[in-house]
Amino acid sequence: MLGLTGASGAPYAARVLEALVEAGAAIGVVASRAGRQVVALECYGDRAMDPDGALERFVADHGGSDVRVYAESDYSAPYASGSAHTDAVIVCPCSMASVGSIAAGIESNLIHRAAAVQLKEGRRLVVVPRETPVSEIHLENLLRLKRAGAAVVPAMPGFYHLPESIADMVDFVASRILSAAGVDLRLIPSWGAR
C-alpha cells in the first residue's frame, strides 16, 4: 500500500508508484486530503485543482488501471487488518502530523491504521518524512517509529550519483524507499558499480 500525506514530495510517490507497478506488485493507494492537495500542486502545478481529481489523475498517470484507490476513511480496505498480510506499507511523503499520529498510535485514518497494523504484525512499514529543520518533538516521534520497527527513509537526495536532473534526484530517494520496502529494483547504479 502506498499512502500519501500532506508533506512536500509527491514526485517521490509518483516514482515509487511507477516502480511498484513495474515490479508487478498489487498496489492500493490512499491519500489524505492534504496529500491530495500536495499532489495537485506539485504534480500538476495547480493549487486550485480539485484534490480528488488530482489523485485520480495521479494514479492514472503513474499507476494505471490496476491500481486501486481507497478513501482515507475506508476501514474495510485490506490494509486495515493484520489478517490481510500486506507485504509493505509505504507512507510517502509523510507529514510530521502523520509521523506524530502513527508514533502516538492514533489510528484515525486508513493510512495511520495501515501503518499501525504493519507495526503490530511485525511487517514492513516505510515512512518517508520531509520537514526541515526538525524539532525535538519531530525527532522523538521518528525515533519512536524506528524503535517500533518502521524503516525511516527521509526524503534526502544525495549527490554522489551525479544527478543531471530533478528526475535523477527523485530516483535516488525512490530507490531507497523501494529497497526499504523489500522491492529489488535498481533506479540508480549501486555505489561502486559506476
Ligand X SMILES: Cc1cc2nc3c(=O)[nH]c(=O)nc-3n(C[C@H](O)[C@H](O)[C@H](O)COP(=O)(O)O)c2cc1C
- Binders of ligand X: how many residues, by CB under 6 A? 16
Residues 15-34 that bind ligand X (CB under 6 A): 32, 34
One of 2, 13, 28, 37 touching ligand X (CB under 6 A): 37
Q: Could you tell me how far CA 15 lies from the centroid of its own chain?
A: 10
Start-to-end C-alpha separation, the chain:
32
Rounded-to-integer distance, Cα 181 and Cα 179, Å: 5
Residues 91-120 that bind ligand X (CB under 6 A): 95-98
DSSP β-bridge partners for residue 30: 3, 70
Q: Give 34 or 152: the residue with its C-beta nearer to ligand X.
A: 34
41 near ligand X, judged by CB under 6 A: yes
Q: Residue 122's CB: how many other CB atoms inside 10 A?
A: 9
Q: Give 25 or 155: the residue with its C-beta nearer to ligand X.
A: 155
36 near ligand X, judged by CB under 6 A: no
CB of 65 to ligand X, least distance (A): 26
7 near ligand X, judged by CB under 6 A: yes
Per DSSP, the residues of 4-23 read E-SSS-HHHHHHHHHHHHHT
Residue 4 one-letter amino acid: L
The residue ranges that bind ligand X (CB under 6 A) are 5-8, 32, 34-35, 37-38, 41, 95-98, 130-131
